[in-house]
Amino acid sequence: EIVLTQSPATLSLSLGERVPLSCRASENIIRDSVAWYQQKPGQAPRLLIYDASSRATGIPDRFSGSGSGTDFTLIISRLEPEDFAVYYCQQYADSPFTFGPGTTVNIK
């Protein structure tokens, strides 16, 4: 199975900062089949990005995704108060579809 590694595990940041979150795959992911999700405590995850760079419905344009092959990135251009959460990447190119361990974005 494809193993996803997310780095860093935790980030402490200030409002307005630009945040790059990394997701690295153990093997090549075809068709850019990567999604990014945001999860807040006590809530179900929310899809942010699919197919590596397509924003889901209703997602603000400060969220963007990029990457191909084994390296993918979610960028939050300017941190807002509601962006402090855990972010997960997922690959769905090859079953079993796997998630990364997550990156927690905290308030500094």
Partner 1 sequence: EVQLVESGGGVVRPGESLRLSCAASGFRFDDFGMHWVRQAPGRSLEWVSGLSWNGRSTGYADSVKGRFTIARDNAKSLVYLQMNSLRVEDSALYYCTKAVGGLYSGSHNWGQGTLVTVSS
The residues in 6-65 that bind partner 1, with binding defined as CB under 8 A, are 33, 35, 37, 39, 44-47, 50-51, 56-57
87 part of the interface to partner 1, by CB under 8 A: no
Half-sphere exposure of 100 (CA within 13 A, CB side): 31
CA distance 45 to 50: 14
Nearer to partner 1, 16 or 96 (CB): 96
CA distance 52 to 33: 6
72 part of the interface to partner 1, by CB under 8 A: no
Residue 106 belongs to what H/E stretch? strand 103-107
97 part of the interface to partner 1, by CB under 8 A: yes
Q: Residue 12 Cβ, how far from partner 1 at the closest point, in Å?
A: 19
Judged by CB under 8 A, how many residues of this single chain contact partner 1? 25
DSSP 3-state helix, strand, coil percentages of the chain (rounded to 5)? Answer: 5, 55, 40
Q: Which of 7, 101, 106, 107: binder of partner 1 (CB under 8 A)?
A: 101
Q: Locate 76 and state its tokens.
A: 């939050």
User: Where along the sequence are the contacts to partner 1 (CB under 8 A)?
Assistant: 1, 33, 35, 37, 39, 44-47, 50-51, 56-57, 88, 90, 92-93, 95-102
